[in-house]
């Protein structure tokens, strides 16, 4: 059964969050999967691992505590936010592959617009080279088998991502900007929360936080690197890629 895609337009964050929770709590084994696509009015969201010190100066932008993974991030106009509401048991894959498929959807969407997205070892999300956003050259800091063998998926990986594992270096963001962020929640094998792709935003609010808990991490959008696509165009491509790559 194909995923039902719904374009919600611009929405306040809190009621959207509540709607995701309600949908997930009420769904049954026969409930079709859905994909909600929207943008939010300005808001900071804190994940379960969120630390107060990463909120540098939120000012008049509200901060919402959530039950997703990860640290603090920003949502605002000009950003495509996607919320896959999937039954992973029915889909037939586990959380690690789910994250990979979401990231691959971001990469394929960027490629559609002539940009090469990259993964960084120990740091979920998608990044681009600031000096050459279209470059296909592999990153030295990309995930490798050596890193994945050293870091078991689970609590050890969480420690690595948060920089608290003393045996592994922290993520290396040298020369990179983050363009896609993800934070998920899985309840009874069903997913909510999701992924955000930056299109044409006011990026100043990112300077008021340590994005995803990393001091000095630069956040960018498509317009910053010379891609002047509309929110609607990116939303349509992104939703199509997600619908394809999240299929069972």
Task: Give the other-Cβ count within 10 Å of 230's Cβ.
Answer: 11
Show the CA angle centred on residue 44, arms to residues 195 and 164, nearest 5°.
75
CA 142, 97, 245, 161 torsion: positive or negative? negative
Known active-site residue 190: no
**Looking up tokens 């994250």, which residue turns up?**
99
Alpha-carbon distances, residue 162 vs 4, 95, 154, 159, 187 (angstroms): 34, 18, 12, 5, 22
Helix (H) or strand (E) holding 38: strand 34-40
Which of 212, 222, 242, 246 is an active site residue?
212
Catalytic residue numbers, as ranges: 212
């Amino acid at each position: 059964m194909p995923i039902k895609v719904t374009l919600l337009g611009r929405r306040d964050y809190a009621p959207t969050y509540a709607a995701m929770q309600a949908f997930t709590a009420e769904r049954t084994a026969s409930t079709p999967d859905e994909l909600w696509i929207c943008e939010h009015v300005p808001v900071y969201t804190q994940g379960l691992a969120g630390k107060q010190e990463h909120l540098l100066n939120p000012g008049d932008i509200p901060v919402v505590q959530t039950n997703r993974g990860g640290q603090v991030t920003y949502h605002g106009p000009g950003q495509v936010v996607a919320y896959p509401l999937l039954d992973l048991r029915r889909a037939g894959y586990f959380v690690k592959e789910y994250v990979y498929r979401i990231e691959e959807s971001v990469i394929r969407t960027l490629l559609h617009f002539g940009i090469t997205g990259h993964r960084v070892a120990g740091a979920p999300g998608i990044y681009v080279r600031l000096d050459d956003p279209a470059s296909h050259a592999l990153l030295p800091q990309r995930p490798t088998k050596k890193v994945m063998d050293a870091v078991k998926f689970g609590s050890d990986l969480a420690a690595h991502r948060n920089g608290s594992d003393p045996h592994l270096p922290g993520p290396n963001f040298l020369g990179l900007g983050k363009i896609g962020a993800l934070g998920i929640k899985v309840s009874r094998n069903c997913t909510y929360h999701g992924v955000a792709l930056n299109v044409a935003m006011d990026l100043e609010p990112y300077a008021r936080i340590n994005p995803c808990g990393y001091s000095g991490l630069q956040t960018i959008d498509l317009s910053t690197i010379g891609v002047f696509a509309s929110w609607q165009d990116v939303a349509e491509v992104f939703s199509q890629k997600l619908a394809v790559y999240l299929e069972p």
